[in-house]
Amino acid sequence: MELIDKKNLDKLTALNNSHVLKIVNEFITLCKPSKVTIITDSEEDINYVRNRAIELGEEEKLNLKGHTIHYDGFFSMTNHDQARDKAHTQVLVSKEELELYPWINTMEREKGLKEVLEIMDGCMNGHECVIRFFCLGPKNSKFSILALQLTDSFYVAHSEDLLYRTGYEEFKRLNDSDDFFYFIHSSGELTGNPPVTKNLDKRRIYIDLKEGRVLSVNNQYAGNSLGLKKLALRLGIYKANNEDWLTEHYFIMGVHPKGKNRTSFFCGAFPSACGKTSTAMLPGQTIVGDDIAYLRVWEDGYAHSVNIESGIFGIIKDVNAKDDPVIFRALTTPRETIFSNVLIKDGAPYWIGDGRPIPDEGFNFSGRWKKGKKDENGIEIPLAHPNARYTIRIEELDNVDPNLHDPNGVPVHGILYGGRDSDTMPPVIESLNWEHGVFLGASIESETTSATLGAEGVRTQQPMANLDFMVVPLGKYIKNHQKFGARLDHCPKVFATNYFLKNEKGKYLNGILDKLCWVIWADGRVNGDFKAIKTPIGYIPEYADLKILFKQYLDKEYSEKDYIAQFSIRPKKILEKLDRIETMYEKEQNVPKFFLNILKNQRKSLKDLQRKFYIDNISPIMLKKLSDQEKLD
């Protein structure tokens, strides 16, 4: 504690928490910063963080008031610090647990701790360490979990001010409890101007479930460095699935259909770069959260949900005035916003797909940039990274929901699951019941994108869009979802969406804003407004309803030809998907019986459909006739 002056030490001891003091002492001694600063909830302290990020060059001011730019490390298009590093993100478990998680990176706990603590020895040399306190979820809420953060990156600390609720005063109410998560982060040795992490080969992000902590070093990209985000998601999943609630990779939105005096709240899970934020930000709707939610069974018989965050760390690629008007307006007007890894020209940010003329030159993550610039391997460097981001407070948005900070959360009426699927599933289907909804969520597939390091376009399984963050056996996770729904008097209806269906020529069958009609249809199903066609994979919309919705919401003619192309059932492709799901879950222990029965019954129903029609694509018109006939029978 010698590095902490009296003023800062007084802030720390005022918490009356011996566990916080022990953690701070341990990691200050290990990481060896040159200075330690304690940040409370005061505006003065928070302004200090914001200003130091500028002074140290981690951020630079842009033309519009409140706008700054941050760059993460870059050496080449294949060697950079601008996406989540799956290979070096390890979950530390006991030797006995190593075989329980075939789909994530695990490491024997003692071995992992030895390695990462050795790397962290002296990692903050010459740096100032800032100690932060946050609340994951609304204040004074039984949903929420507190978080302690130590970092030597003022960009990280500033980002957390935009993304999370302050928690210093909340820590005072812990009464010396150790019921909080904690996160230790260091950028490590820096190089260049702006300063970026030098030793990416020693980048490590280790999640220690036993201690409820994350140790992260030699990185700056927020997906690796902001412990409170996806790393805290893992800790939350572990805690929730060993108790009686859920931590999910969900947005939360309020759906407000035209002409109806109601709000339905939907959660939704989509893998990275699959339309999650743009769905949560649909025009005319309200947003409670875009990324991570805690859910509990509430006294009214509904599942209630809260956003653990109060900001958005979103992918900026393809955000433009036409397709994402709410986000675009927020990003092009004065307000506190951090851009990362985009192009700057004359103090203004530009990104891929922003709908504006592209400057011929400027400054980006690679330094001075001009069209045609290539990296050391001859790969062309784009004006902005495909995984470039923006960080902004939700309260700065025009469509923020008034329930954002409600300590009781909001009731969940529906759940949307989505992936990136070019040739198999329709744009939207409704599950047959809650258990089938769990199956739909656990069966998400997605084609990989630039949001993670590695090859793009590879089809991967993404149960509940959560596999990357899963830290309990999948069988247990799925069973807990089934049990959670069984405890509810009012189960949410579950829907699966797919915005990325293509025709045989590779052209998308969905317009970017068509998702608004799929969501409004789901709201109508929740509230009994629409009938639907029953199929082996779930309920699909009737053409007449969609025709009205497209005209009403998008002023767009929706043809029966488009409807048939989008909502035809493809038994051969779906059966192939079921085979892939079965192969994945064969690796799992204790897969619930209900899940395997659904898989078996769906396969049988699809084969029956094949025998009945003898074609690969069965149109929704034919399926409606079949459904109507079965009702008569």
Beta bridge partners of 252: 267, 289
How, if at all, do strands 264-269 and 428-430 pair?
Answer: unpaired
Q: Burial-class residue 504 by CB neighbours within 10 Å (0-12, 13-18, 19+).
A: exposed
| Residues, the chain | 633
Q: Is-contact 424 577, C-beta < 8 A? A: yes
Per the residue annotation, which of 31, 274, 491, 517 is the catalytic one? 274
Q: Are strands 74-76 and 79-80 parallel, antiparallel or unpaired?
A: antiparallel
Helix (H, G, I), strand (E, B), or coil: what is residue 467?
helix
Q: In what order do the strands lie in the sheet with 361-364?
A: 348-350, 343-345, 361-364, 367-370
What is the distance, to the nearest Å, from the Cα of residue 275 to the centroid of all Cα atoms in its chain?
A: 10
- Cβ atoms of 351 and 386 within 8 Å: the answer is no
User: At 320, which amino acid appears?
Assistant: N
Q: What letter would DSSP give residue 357?
A: P
Q: Which helix (H) or strand (E) holds 630?
A: helix 620-632
Distance between CA atoms of 183 and 92, rounded to whole angstroms? 15
- The structure tokens listed for 525 are 């199903």
Q: Degrees (nearest 5) of the Cα angle 371, 373, 374?
A: 145
Question: Do 36 and 8 form a contact (C-beta atoms < 8 A)?
Answer: yes
110 three-state secondary structure: helix
Collapsing DSSP to helix, strand or coil, 207 comes out as strand
Smallest CA-to-CA distance from 389 within 342, 325, 322 is with 342
Contact between residue 348 and residue 61 where contact means Cβ atoms under 8 Å apart? no
Residue 274 catalytic? yes
Whole-angstrom distance, CA of residue 576 vs CA of residue 599: 12
Radius of gyration of the chain (CA): 25
Long-range contacts of 546-551 (CB under 8 A, 24+ apart): 546/517, 546/521, 549/517, 549/520, 549/521, 550/514, 550/517
Q: Specify the amino acid at residue 577.
A: K
Residues marked active site are found at: 274
